[in-house]
Structure 1
Amino acid sequence: MKRSLLTRSFALAALLMSVAVPASAGTGDPTDPDPVFRQVTDRNARLSLQTYGRPDGADMVFRISGSVYADVPGNALDPALRHGQKLFGIEGYNIRRLYREPGTTRLHQLSREIVFYTDPADPTRILREWTNPVDGKTYPVVPINNDTVNFGPFDVTPSYAGPPVRRLHDETTWTSDIPVRTDFGATLGERFGLTGGVYTAQEMFDFFVDEREVAARTRPGRVPSGAMETKISWARTSPWAPFMCLAESEVRGGLTYHARSWSLDSYGEVEPWLRAEVEARHPLYRSAPGQPGPSQNSWSSFHAKQLGGGATTWAAWCSANGR
């Protein structure tokens, strides 16, 4: 009798532990990442992989909220456009998933991102037009709408290792700084007013995961359910956005983006006002891509969607749309 009670007690304890830290069983889809994720033992690797996507292969979201400022060397455009002036708010998200090449250990991060430029004084008021203080003309505002933003493939074997991390107070943190250099004059045949036709930017990310979540998400052999609770600080320095119709080669300066981002389990957790805008005007961005493919950024997306893939030029678009 005592042996039976003891056995049941152990069984109950095991059940409670499994409820406290749920594990994904996957869907059986051959593109699910969880069979690959399950074999990863490096703690940092298990953390970083869960920022790329949910281990069960379902969509997750990184909600993005922040501001955009004018970066003007020497404050040379004052008073029309002052250095440090807040030009826009930004509100949107990246929706992503992890995709495994069937029958392999090769993973891809597949995502789309939609980020709206908003009134600097009201983050929920999406801007439809903007008056350029340099030329005095009003232009339509084109949101960041990149379909797609993909990464990979990367081979996730049992020896796969993650980035170096630090513990700051009760959080584990790590950094990803990405210098971007793309010759659009050569690749797209469109210079966008960029110096030499070359787009240069700096993307800077800091990731933060609290220790409770780290403990639950890094147990070897387990595949956690849902999205890891992650906070991100993001900054970007870049040329003027293409809809602003300011040629970097003629108007010295650019933009500084500074935003916060946080993980959500799914598109359904995005705020209703933001979902309403997406569903009315950009319904593609309700889900992540289904297959790997080429990536876009704000400039290549503008070239594809506003310039018709080269059917017209950036200068002609600005001339036709400025009033």
Structure 2
Amino acid sequence: MIRKAVTGLLAPIAILLSTGIPSAQAHDKSVGSTNPGPVYETVTDKSGKLSLQTFGRPDGKDMVFRISGSVYANIEGNSLDPAMRHGQKLFNIEGYNIRRLYRVPDTNQLYQLSREIVFYTDPADPQRILREWRNPIDGKTYPVVPINNDTVNFGPFTITPSYAGPPMRQLHDETVWTSDIGVRTNFGTTLGERFGLAGGVYAAQEMFDFSVDRREVAARTKPGVPAGAMKTKISWARTSPWAPFMCLAETDVRGQLTYHARSWSLGSYAQIEPWLRAEVEAKHPLYKAAPGAPGPSESSWTSFHNKQLGKGATTWAGWCAANGRA
């Protein structure tokens, strides 16, 4: 299993299956093709077939995991009450990860290539995107920065006929599997920016449950290359430090965020609701498609560092000071 820092909301989907063993290359019918289909077609293990289809469509076209949920304050001892209560719903979140499977030409190596954009929305109205947020601790209002990770890539994974996915169980009519990952990244060392984190270390817990119903399992595990995206449902929870735009230093303000969301697969970008596509097309058009080739990845925090802090041109504390409005 690959031991990498999780870099996106749905990144653990990729980590689940990163266990390929090098072997002879699979034969492709077209030299130089990045189409994953001929490599996918060699897999015989049921769990390998199912879990690979959470990476992307076996035909190599874009698919989407739509993400919808809520974010709550998780405050030890309810110590910030009444300004912020333990269990208080602070935001809704609405967005998606758009991804594809990419084959390294003339090899049996696959990548998952993706981008993700997730908006913080009004806790009372999921479709009202928040542009600013009033910090109840310092009384200042800050611009809300969506999760916008370009890109979130994993691989390469070596795909052989014996390629296997994670352990799976049958619960009623559904095949289910899980991924629980503790994340620890020292941004003080890697970025030279501590973000107000204890020791400069981002520490979080990511927990995923995947489920596919029996009819879809039967349809998607037959020999050959299945068309379209597998109908997959995901439950996701994350406990992590305050988001960077909130300008709450973990070292000074006790508490964390708990994210709880659902995710479900869509066959293409066109299947996303019009209100969400309108926001993306007006302000974030890059996220209409998955990347075309492997490259470096971002997390919510490295994205903030790259885009808001100018890759270190200013500090997190400096950004908060410049953007907080009384």
Write the mapping of 1:58-137 to structure 2, written as runs, cut at 5 A. 58-137=61-140
Q: In structure 1, which of residues 196, 205, 223 is the aligned counterpart of residue 208 of structure 2?
A: 205
CA distance in 2, matches of 1:31, 1:194: 41
Matching of residue 320 in structure 1 with residue 322 in structure 2: yes
Contact 2:32 2:106 in 1 (8 A): no
Shift, 1:203, TM fit: 1.0
Kindly provide the amino acid, as one letter, of the partner of residue 306 in structure 1: Q
Contact 1:68 1:87 in 2 (8 A): yes
311 and 170 in structure 1: CA distance in 2 versus 1, 3 angstrom threshold: same
SS at match of 1:309: helix
Q: In structure 2, which of residues 176, 180, 184 is the aligned counterpart of residue 181 of structure 1?
A: 184
TM-score normalised over the length of structure 1:
0.91
CA distance in 2, matches of 1:294, 1:184: 16
Kindly provide the amino acid, as one letter, of the partner of residue 52 in structure 1: F
CA distance in 2, matches of 1:289, 1:206: 26
- Work out the percentage of aligned pairs sharing the same amino acid: 78
SS at match of 1:228: coil
Unaligned stretches of 5+ residues in structure 1: 1-24
Cross-structure match for 1:266: 268
How many equivalent residue pairs? Answer: 298
Write the deviation string for residues 248-290 of structure 1: whole angstroms up to 9, x where unpaired.
0111111000000000000000000000000000000000011
26 and 215 in structure 1: CA distance in 2 versus 1, 3 angstrom threshold: farther
Shift, 1:153, TM fit: 1.0
Write the deviation string for residues 4-30 of structure 1: whole angstroms up to 9, x where unpaired.
xxxxxxxxxxxxxxxxxxxxx999871
CA distance in 1, matches of 2:289, 2:186: 30
Q: In structure 2, which of residues 40, 43, 48 is the aligned counterpart of residue 45 of structure 1?
A: 48
SS at match of 2:312: coil
Matching of residue 141 in structure 1 with residue 144 in structure 2: yes
Runs of 4+ in structure 1 off by over 4 angstroms are: 25-29
Contact 1:26 1:56 in 2 (8 A): no
TM-score normalised over the length of structure 2:
0.90
Contact 1:26 1:32 in 2 (8 A): no
CA distance in 1, matches of 2:31, 2:307: 36
182 and 26 in structure 1: CA distance in 2 versus 1, 3 angstrom threshold: farther
CA distance in 1, matches of 2:181, 2:112: 17
Write the deviation string for residues 168-193 of structure 1: whole angstroms up to 9, x where unpaired.
11000000112111110000000000
Write the deviation string for residues 58-98 of structure 1: whole angstroms up to 9, x where unpaired.
00000000000001001000000000000000000000000
Write the deviation string for residues 177-232 of structure 1: whole angstroms up to 9, x where unpaired.
12111110000000000000000111111001000000000113x11000000000
CA distance in 2, matches of 1:194, 1:113: 24
Quick check: which has more Rg, 1 or 2? 1
Cross-structure match for 2:15: none
Shift, 1:134, TM fit: 0.4
Q: In structure 1, which of residues 230, 233, 238 is the aligned counterpart of residue 232 of structure 2?
A: 230
Unaligned stretches of 5+ residues in structure 2: 1-27
Cross-structure match for 2:21: none
CA distance in 1, matches of 2:176, 2:161: 23
Cross-structure match for 2:14: none
Cross-structure match for 2:299: 297
CA distance in 2, matches of 1:29, 1:263: 29
Shift, 1:307, TM fit: 0.2
Across the aligned residues of Structure 1 and Structure 2, the Cα RMSD in angstroms comes to 1.3
Shift, 1:294, TM fit: 1.5
Contact 1:27 1:56 in 2 (8 A): no
Kindly provide the amino acid, as one letter, of the partner of residue 310 in structure 1: G
